[in-house]
């Protein structure tokens, strides 16, 4: 037996229906079990519910645009709830008010949601929900424990198909035998991928990557030892003085979360445009921020809005800072680096495991950015996920130093900070050459003034950590207070 076996209990609520969750290791199972226990319905009551659901769906005709609009979706749920409550009171008059609410919630889950999957969607501890087929239980990825097998199985392949179709309708797309693959970004920010048999040979599949409802902040990262306060202060200074940064890393390494954290350092006096496939960036609501998302084509193959379209359009919106979800294609990268060269500060993400790999991906096909354009990028921040230990760390901060004559422009990589796995510390690897030189040029500060500035930023960051300030708006306000009246904020902190 393990000294510390996995064990956790908590509850989740979906549409007013409570479910208990127990995570534990069980005999003859190779992974921990995520066991969901929720109210079961007797056969006679189930027959009544099925009849009520059919009647409500017949009476309430829902238009596609109502599903696409979150406000209309809320109104639709309200109408459904009122009808269901009235019909249950009529059909089952002896029900208590509490039981009535539970049955209405179950009806909502089954009619407008994904049935028992809704409990997992409401569990803030889960990052991923995976349905592999009707023959297998649902799997989930837990933030703390990794992959877990659940006790929930769906009754047949048709139900999985219905769930996928329902998700597709919410965003104006569909999945069929002629189009058996679907990738959908929901208005909630969640991302759903579905495949149909026989493309997925074991059965229909549905994978839902959940959007973080409570975004990470820099204080969370420092507290979790993902980044040190010294490095956070350095990156804050770099963003204040408009250094361009690309955040890279492997799948689920936390690069988008890190990009989001860094974006909170942007001064409140500047206009921010963010461009993404799905809304993952979350900034304090008081910032001058315009979030934009791409749109897939409709059923007829029309109406698509690509990332390139949004990037070209964003440059006409007079942004000071541009945040791009991910660099994937040559044209997007070209527009991005042209934006940098025309005076915009740009931040983005990319799939690459090291700074050197990032550089090679940028200058080689299919992205193939000319070295002369790449010289405008100052920093590469690399995130790393240690699957064995279950931790995420800032792996390295590397600056790009241009050199050579214009016709044979070369770039040297200088790693400033690096994570040492054996000690689990991020250490200074070498002195910054380009970034600090650029900051001196833009700010007029000398070496001592830069050191004092970094010390002040570090003091503010540690004060927020010690005072458990980790809500996105509160962290954003303190950073904005620093930009507005640094001396006043520092005096408050010193007290």
What are the angstrom distances between the C-alpha of 8 and each of 24, 37, 110? 7, 14, 28
Domain ranges of the chain: 7-209, 218-494
Q: Can you give the pLDDT at residue 405?
A: 63
Distance in angstroms (rounded) separating the CA atoms of residues 65 and 240 = 42
Q: Can you give the pLDDT at residue 406?
A: 53
pLDDT digits (tens, 9 = 90+) for 441-488: 999 999 999 999 999 999 999 999 999 999 999 999 999 999 999 999
Residues 6+ apart with CB under 8 A from 455: 233
Distance in angstroms (rounded) separating the CA atoms of residues 79 and 108 = 11
- Per-residue pLDDT, averaged over 250-256, amounts to 88
One fold for 7-209 and 218-494:
no
- Per-residue pLDDT, averaged over 8-30, amounts to 90
Q: Tell which wins on pLDDT, 293 or 271.
A: 271
- Per-residue pLDDT, averaged over 388-407, amounts to 85
Q: What is the CATH number of domain 218-494?
A: 3.40.50.300
The answer on pLDDT for 73 being more than 80 is no
Q: Can you give the pLDDT at residue 187?
A: 66
Write the DSSP assignment of 225-290 as a string of letters.
Answer: TSS-HHHHHHHHHHHHTT--EEEEESTTSSHHHHHHHHHTTS-TTSEEEEEESS------TTSEEE
φ and ψ of 158, to 5 deg: -60, -35
Residues 6+ apart with CB under 8 A from 178: none
Residue 407's SS3 state is helix
Distance in angstroms (rounded) separating the CA atoms of residues 387 and 140 = 16
Inter-residue contact 253 to 393 (CB < 8 Å): no
Which CATH number does the domain 7-209 belong to among 3.40.1160.10, 1.20.140.10, 3.30.465.10, 3.30.450.380? 3.30.450.380
Model's pTM, two decimal places?
0.79
Q: Tell which wins on pLDDT, 412 or 370.
A: 412
Which tokens belong to 247?
Answer: 């955040």
- Per-residue pLDDT, averaged over 185-207, amounts to 88
When pLDDT is cut at 50, 70 and 90, the band that residue 297 belongs to is confident
Q: Can you give the pLDDT at residue 62?
A: 58
Name 425's bridge partners: 420
Lowest mean pLDDT among 76-85, 113-122, 265-274: 76-85
What are the angstrom distances between the C-alpha of 142 and each of 74, 484, 487? 28, 40, 43
Q: Can you give the pLDDT at residue 74?
A: 77
Alpha helices in 92-179 (DSSP H): 97-112, 117-122, 157-170
pLDDT digits (tens, 9 = 90+) for 255-283: 999 999 999 999 999 999 999 887 789 99
* Element at 403 (helix H, strand E): strand 391-403
- Per-residue pLDDT, averaged over 88-99, amounts to 81
Q: Can you give the pLDDT at residue 202?
A: 94
pLDDT digits (tens, 9 = 90+) for 299-355: 677 888 888 899 999 989 999 999 998 888 888 888 888 888 878 899 999 999 999
Name 52's bridge partners: none
Distance in angstroms (rounded) separating the CA atoms of residues 324 and 312 = 12
């Amino acid at each position: 037996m393990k000294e510390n076996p996995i064990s956790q209990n908590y509850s989740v609520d979906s549409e007013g229906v409570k479910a208990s969750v127990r995570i534990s290791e069980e005999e003859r199972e190779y992974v921990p079990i995520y066991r969901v226990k929720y109210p079961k319905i007797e056969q006679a009551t189930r027959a009544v519910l099925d009849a009520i659901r059919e009647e409500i769906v017949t009476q309430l005709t829902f238009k596609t645009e109502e599903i696409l609009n979150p406000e209309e979706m809320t109104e639709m749920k309200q109408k459904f709830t009122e009808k269901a409550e009235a019909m249950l009171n009529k059909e089952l008059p002896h029900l208590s008010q509490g039981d009535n609410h539970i049955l209405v919630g179950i009806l909502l889950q089954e009619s407008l949601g994904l049935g028992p999957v809704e409990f997992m969607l409401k569990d803030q501890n889960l990052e991923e929900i995976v349905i592999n087929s009707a023959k297998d239980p649902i799997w989930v990825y837990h933030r703390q424990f990794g992959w877990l097998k659940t006790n929930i199985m769906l009754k047949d392949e048709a139900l999985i198909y219905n769930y996928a179709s329902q998700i597709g309708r919410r965003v104006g797309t569909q999945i069929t035998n002629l189009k058996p693959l679907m990738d959908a970004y929901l208005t909630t920010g969640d991302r759903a991928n579905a495949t149909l048999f026989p493309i997925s040979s074991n059965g229909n599949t549905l994978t839902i990557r959940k959007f973080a409802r409570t975004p990470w902040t820099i204080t969370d990262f420092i507290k979790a030892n993902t980044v040190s306060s010294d490095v956070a202060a350095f990156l804050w200074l770099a963003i204040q003085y408009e250094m361009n940064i690309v955040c890279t890393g492997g799948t689920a390494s936390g690069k988008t979360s890190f990009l989001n954290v860094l974006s909170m350092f942007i001064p409140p006096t500047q206009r921010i445009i963010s461009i993404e496939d799905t809304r993952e960036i979350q900034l304090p609501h008081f910032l001058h921020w315009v979030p934009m998302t791409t749109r897939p084509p409709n059923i007829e193959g029309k109406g698509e809005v690509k990332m390139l379209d949004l990037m070209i359009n964003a440059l006409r919106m007079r942004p000071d800072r541009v945040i791009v979800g991910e660099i994937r294609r040559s044209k997007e990268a070209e527009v991005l680096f042209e934006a940098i060269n025309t005076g915009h500060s740009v931040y983005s993400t990319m799939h690459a495991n090291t700074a050197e790999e990032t550089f090679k991906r940028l200058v080689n096909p299919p992205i193939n950015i000319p070295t002369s354009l790449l010289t405008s990028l100052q920093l590469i921040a690399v995130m790393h996920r240690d699957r064995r230990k279950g931790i995420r760390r800032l792996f390295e901060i590397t600056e790009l130093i241009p050199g050579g004559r214009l016709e044979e422009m070369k770039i040297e990589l200088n790693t400033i900070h690096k994570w040492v796995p054996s000690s689990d510390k991020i250490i200074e690897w070498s002195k910054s050459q380009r970034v600090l030189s650029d900051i001196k040029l833009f700010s007029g500060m000398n070496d001592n003034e830069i050191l004092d500035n970094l010390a002040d930023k570090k003091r503010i960051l540690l004060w927020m950590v010690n005072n458990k300030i980790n809500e996105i708006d509160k962290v954003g306000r303190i950073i904005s207070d620093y930009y507005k009246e640094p001396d006043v904020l520092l005096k408050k902190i010193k007290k």
